[in-house]
């Protein structure tokens, strides 16, 4: 049973920069990692009008 719990934990998304479990927050129109503050989703994402 412990092995199944380990698999579930390892499937959780992590920040590519700080490797913390990914919890995102929206700040000034973009999304950033709650742990380290790196921008993980730019406000425009390269979209053009």
Residue 49, pLDDT above cutoff 80: no
Per-residue pLDDT, 9? 53
Per-residue pLDDT, 38? 93
Dist CA 27 CA 13 (whole Å): 20
How far CA 39 is from CA of 1, 21, 22, in Å, comes to: 37, 15, 12
Q: For residue 48, is it within any domain?
A: no
Q: For residue 49, is it within any domain?
A: no
Per-residue pLDDT, 32? 94
pLDDT per residue as tens digits for the range 3-47: 444 445 557 899 999 999 999 999 888 899 999 999 988 776 666
Per-residue pLDDT, 7? 47
Q: For residue 37, is it within any domain?
A: yes
Dist CA 36 CA 30 (whole Å): 14
The total number of structural domains that make up the chain: 1
State the residue range of the domain holding 27. Answer: 2-41
Q: For residue 24, is it within any domain?
A: yes
pTM above 0.85, yes or no: no
Q: For residue 47, is it within any domain?
A: no
């Amino acid at each position: 049973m412990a092995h199944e719990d380990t698999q579930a934990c390892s499937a959780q998304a992590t920040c590519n920069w700080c490797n913390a479990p990914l919890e995102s927050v929206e700040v000034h129109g973009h999304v950033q990692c709650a742990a380290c503050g790196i921008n993980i989703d730019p406000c425009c994402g390269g979209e053009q009008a």
